[in-house]
Every structure is written in C-alpha cells, then in structure tokens.
Structure 1
Amino acid sequence: MSDQTYHGSCFCGKVAFSVTGAPAGMGYCHCLSCRTWSAAPVNAFTLWEPASLTITAGEDQIATYCKTDQSHRKFCTSCGGHLMTDHPQMGLVDIYAAMLPDLDFQPALHVHYGEKVLSIPDGLTKFNDMPADLGGSGTELPD
C-alpha cells in the first residue's frame, strides 16, 4: 500500500484530489463537531501527511471553515460537498474515508468516544478524547 495512489472528489466532481502512500492512521471520530459537520453519528477518518495530498482539479472551488484552530474543514463552493480537514496542530490532513472509495479502510481506534451518541462494540481502543501522543489525555473507555 506504500506507493498506492487513491483518488477522490467532491459531490459534484468539480474538486478532485489524490493521495499517495499509506495513511498515518485510520479510525472513527465521535466528537460533536465531526458529527454535526458530517450529519452522521460517527465520522470515519483517514489521516495523511500533507505532502501526500495533491489537488488535481478545482483548487479554486475549495473553501475553508474553521470553527476551531484545531480543524480547518474544506468543502467545495459549488456543491457544498465536504472534502477533508486540515489538523495543523497534528501536522496531518484528515481525508474522510468515504472520499477514498478504493482505500481498504482498516480503522484502529475511536477518538472522542466520551462524546459518542452511537456505541460501536468492535473491540477497537476507545479514547475518551485523543491518544496522548496526539495531544489528548490518553484515557481509554470501555467498549
């Protein structure tokens, strides 16, 4: 998977992008911001080094919304379709798993499980907020 390239686009297709290599991490986020942004009870994420991302079409159609300094959410100005979230404090970009249909999504953890509205008893590690190495408390919660 290390030299594989994956392609994605917004809802209308005006914005297209690719990522090359392997994600730095994959999992599920249960925070209120992700749930509200995605209009879903949980958000499947893939984290990538920013250098692995290339915007291949429609860069002028990308807008950013920053509710917090931790998450710069990107979307298409034409269709409103969500694209990705830059996490400058982590130095990573979150490309929503649904945006990469050819990626073999293999989640390893749940973050912000303390805010969950949907329990997912899948045996993966559940963090109350975030792992300590990503700036969280590292506190784990039961399945």
Structure 2
Amino acid sequence: MDNEKSYHGCCFCGAVQFTVTGEPVEMGYCHCESCRHWSAGPVNAFTLWKPEAIKVTQGADNIGTYNKTPASYRKWCKTCGGHLFTEHPGMKLIDVYAALLPALPYTPQVHVHYQETVLPLKDGLPKIKDLPKEMGGSGESMDE
C-alpha cells in the first residue's frame, strides 16, 4: 500500500481523522431505510473498503458505535456526532461515507436496496432490489 493513493477524511469537528488507501471495492448509493434514517437523507452515497485500507490517525478513542442489527456497526464522533463509517462484518467491508472523502473521485456504479427508495433516480446505473449476489443479496435488478 506504500505507493497507493491515500485520501484524508474527518468528522464534522475534526476530532476524528482517518485515511483510506488504495481504491474502494465498490461505490454507489444505498436506499435502505436504515441508511436513510442514519444519514438523515433520502439516499446514502457509499464507498466500501477492505478494513485494512482504513487507518484512524487521530481520535480513535472518540469513536462511538451503534449497531441496530448485526449487519451494520455504525460509527460516529462522540464530540460532534458526525458520522464516520459503517462496518459490515458479514461482507468484511467498511462503508466510508463518500461525503467524508472530498478528494476521492466518486464514481458510483450501482444503487442497492432500491426496493426501499423514496427518491427514484434516473441516472442509468444498475438498480438492485437488495444487494448484489457477491454481497449476499439476490442480485435482482429493478427498473429505473
């Protein structure tokens, strides 16, 4: 990873800082109810990374965790409440919210959990009912 590109991110107040190195496994949009409620938005822009690609460089002791389900461990800054990541143990991936990586060229490839959308988007990207098969879902496509 020494010669790979790194991207810096932080929480809202800057107390927690981190880097991600390399390239994300996937980038896209999640429309599930949990992500919508957590992000307080109609859709969540995600970047999925292998755990070893993420390094907390400041404020690790200031990270809180909440898991509504065993599939997602949501992380936030205890000082400002700014959202940071969501660990997905079953997929062995961590979602770093795209908005926290401003220098990363965000190139979404897919919409997931599109059956739950409250904001239909017609952007030509594949719309998956739940998750792609390789991530444990049905892989079933939906129309825009």
Coarse TM-score class (shorter-chain normalised) = over 0.9
The AA in structure 2 aligned to 1:103 is L
Match of 1:6 in 2: 7
The AA in structure 2 aligned to 1:76 is C
The SS at the match of 2:139 is: coil
- Give aligned-pair identity as a percent: 57
The SS at the match of 2:99 is: helix
- The separation in 1 between residues aligned to 2:80 and 2:88, in whole angstroms, is 23
The AA in structure 2 aligned to 1:37 is W
- The separation in 1 between residues aligned to 2:11 and 2:132, in whole angstroms, is 30
Quick check: 1:65 aligned with 2:34? no
Query: Aligned ranges for residues 7-22 of structure 1 at < 5 Å?
Result: 7-22=8-23
Match of 1:87 in 2: 88
Match of 2:118 in 1: 117
Count of residue pairs brought into register by the alignment: 142
Query: Aligned ranges for residues 24-35 of structure 1 at < 5 Å?
Result: 24-35=25-36
Match of 1:49 in 2: 50
The SS at the match of 1:8 is: strand
Question: If the length of structure 2 is used for normalisation, what is the TM-score?
Answer: 0.97
- CA RMSD of superposed structures (Å): 0.8
* C-alpha displacement of 1:133: 1.1
- The separation in 2 between residues aligned to 1:128 and 1:53, in whole angstroms, is 29
Residue segments in structure 2 that go unaligned for 5+ positions in a row = none
* C-alpha displacement of 1:18: 0.2
